[in-house]
Amino acid sequence: MQIIENSKVKEKLYTEKLENGLTVMVIPKPGIQKKYIIWGTKYGSNESVFVVPGEESVTEVPNGVAHFLEHKLFEQENGTNSLDVLTSLGVEANAYTTNDHTAFLFECTDNFYEAMDELMDYVQHPYFTDENVEKEKGIIGQEIMMYDDYPEWRVYLNAINAMYHNNPVKIDIVGTIESISKIDKDVLYKCYNTFYNPSNMALVICGDFNPEGIIEEIKKRLVSSKASSEIKRVYPDEPEEIVQEKIEQKFEVSTPLYTIGIKDRIDNSKSFTKTELVKKHIAIEILLNLIIGRSSSLYKKLYNEGLIFGQPSLEYEFTNIYAHVLITGQSNEPEKVYKEFKEEVKEFKENGINKSDFERIKKMIYGGYVKEYNDVSDISRMFLADYFKGINSFEYLEEINEINVAYLKQILNDVFNDKKMVLSIVEN
């Protein structure tokens, strides 16, 4: 067992790779009542083309399988639904699928071990039939139509489509009505057996636990299986340039929505380490807050002129195959907001970064990181998502001190490129 300690937040991470390949991470929280467990697989909507370990030919499956599998795992052969069982135990259970991983989780104060029995049982015992797969198509079809009616989802997905030519991040996580119609039980079993091998999975537990004791409890509940070799994931080539700068869609909204996207390039050189990726992420977070965060001069100007309503969301999303900045908000004149944003970026490049503003924002972001470690769900989900990116979440607390104005300027010039920017608008 490996122990990683961070003195800044007085937290310890106990991690062990089991014989079957499963990585278990335990974050003890002595004296706290809440308990949280999340079990994930490095399998999301990006993986539609892959080579099964032991096979030579490439397998291609319909879009939306990862999300479909997430839904189907709750249904058990005895006719019960594990989500209902967990709810009856008084725990808050859920599951989700992203572009790069799928996760099953619950949070509770009581009945932890009974709930863990259920969680570890349903994730390890898939039950797919022709009938229950067909029935699920109707349920997920309704979900797809529901997402189509969400202007917030459309403005995001349109921005992604404006940035990317071929990258699977363009694929809607839930798939389409047409793509899910091609899913059958054989496809589900093949994807389950490929991606739900313990060596492709990780489990995080946070709460008042003895690390050695809880890992033994996990081992007791694991079915016998062997670690598989690495799954070869096949992705199309993606040009560096964007598809189009502007994309608009008509929708029934009270106020127009906008997303400004900035397509970033992926550095796969051996010299670019995961630590560098963490530093870059922090630097972009600082830059976004300096340029258009709540305390920035641009935000105050746009707000006072009635061009924006409240703080836009500021995100940097990345995996091993894509990376981009997203700024999303509401405005009656989104094109003006976009123009002002580009002008502000240009001004920062020409006039430099104010050191006192930089230090203030860095402290604010550091405080946000520390706050995340106080919440059992935040810390668990963060460690799982970062693990699948090859990152230890404690690195953010360490690397933020390594960032200076010179590095910030380098990232500003590298990432905030006019030619890589897009504007997505959804309006009446």
Residues carrying an active site annotation = 70
Q: Are 120 and 106 in contact (CB under 8 A)?
A: no
Q: At what angle do helices 297-304 and 274-292 cross, to 10 degrees?
A: 40
Radius of gyration of the chain (CA): 23
Q: What residue spans of 235-354 are helical by DSSP H? A: 274-292, 297-304, 334-351
Give dist(CA 271, CA 319) in Å, integer. 17
DSSP symbol at 33: -
Q: Can you tell me which residue has the tokens 């699948």?
A: 388
10 Å CB burial of residue 186 (0-12, 13-18, 19+) is: exposed
DSSP 57-119: SPEE--TTHHHHHHHHTTB-TTS-BHHHHHHHTT-EEEEEE-SS-EEEEEEESS-HHHHHHHH
- Written in H, E and C, the secondary structure of 194-218 is HHCCHHHEEEEEEECCCHHHHHHHH
Give dist(CA 108, CA 127) in Å, integer. 26
